[in-house]
Structure 1
Amino acid sequence: MTFTFFQASPELIEIMTGSPVYFDYAGNPIGFDSCSIPCNSGFALEVWTDVLGEDVCEDEAAEGAWVYFLLPWLTNGMLGDVELAGEGVNLELTAATRAGGKWGTGPYDVQAQDAAGTPGPMLTPLDSTCHRRMFISSVEPPEPSTTYLPVAGEYCMAS
Structure 2
Amino acid sequence: MNANVEEGTDVEYKAANGRICGFKRGCPSLKGYDIELEFFDLSPAFIEIVTGNPVVYGFDGTPIGIDDCSIRCNTGFALELWAEVLGDDVCEEEASGTGAWIYFLLPWVTGGQLGNIEPGSEATNLTLTGATRAGGAWGTGPYDVMPIDAAGTPGPLLTPLGSGCHRRTIVTTIEPPEAVGAYTPVTGGLCLAS
Q: Do they fold alike, i.e. is TM over 0.5?
A: yes
Structure 1 residues 55 and 102: alpha-carbon distance in aligned structure 2, compared to 1, 3 A threshold: same
Letter in 2 for 1:42: G
Q: Which runs of 5+ in 2 are unaligned?
A: 1-34
SS of the counterpart of 2:115?
A: strand
Gaps spanning 5+ residues in structure 1: where? none
In our comparison, the structure showing a higher alpha carbon Rg is 2
2:45 paired residue number: 11
57-66 or 34-43, which moves further after superposition? 57-66
SS in structure 2 of the partner of residue 27 of structure 1:
coil
TM-score (norm 1): 0.93
**DSSP 3-state at the match of 2:126:** strand
Matched length: 159
The one-letter code of the counterpart of 1:33 is: D
Aligned with 2:171 (options 116, 136, 141) = 136
Instruction: Say if 1:85 and 1:114 are closer, same or farther in 2 by CA, change over 3 A.
Output: farther
CA distance in 2 between partners of 1:158 and 1:135 (Å): 25
Which of 23, 29, 37 is residue 57 of structure 2 equivalent to? 23
Report the TM-score, using the length of structure 2 for normalisation: 0.77
The equivalent of 1:44 in structure 2 is 78
Name the SS for the 2:170 alignment partner.
Answer: strand
Give the share of equivalent positions with the same residue, in percent: 61
| Gap change, CA 1:89 and 1:48, over 3 Å in 2 | same
Distance verdict in 2 for CA 1:12–1:133, change over 3 Å: same
Shift of 1:158: 3.1
Matched residue type, 2:104 = F
**1:146 Cα deviation from its structure 2 partner:** 2.2
Give, in angstroms, the shift of residue 38 of structure 1: 2.0
Alpha-carbon distance, 1:82 to partner: 2.1
1:63 equivalent in alignment to 2:98: yes
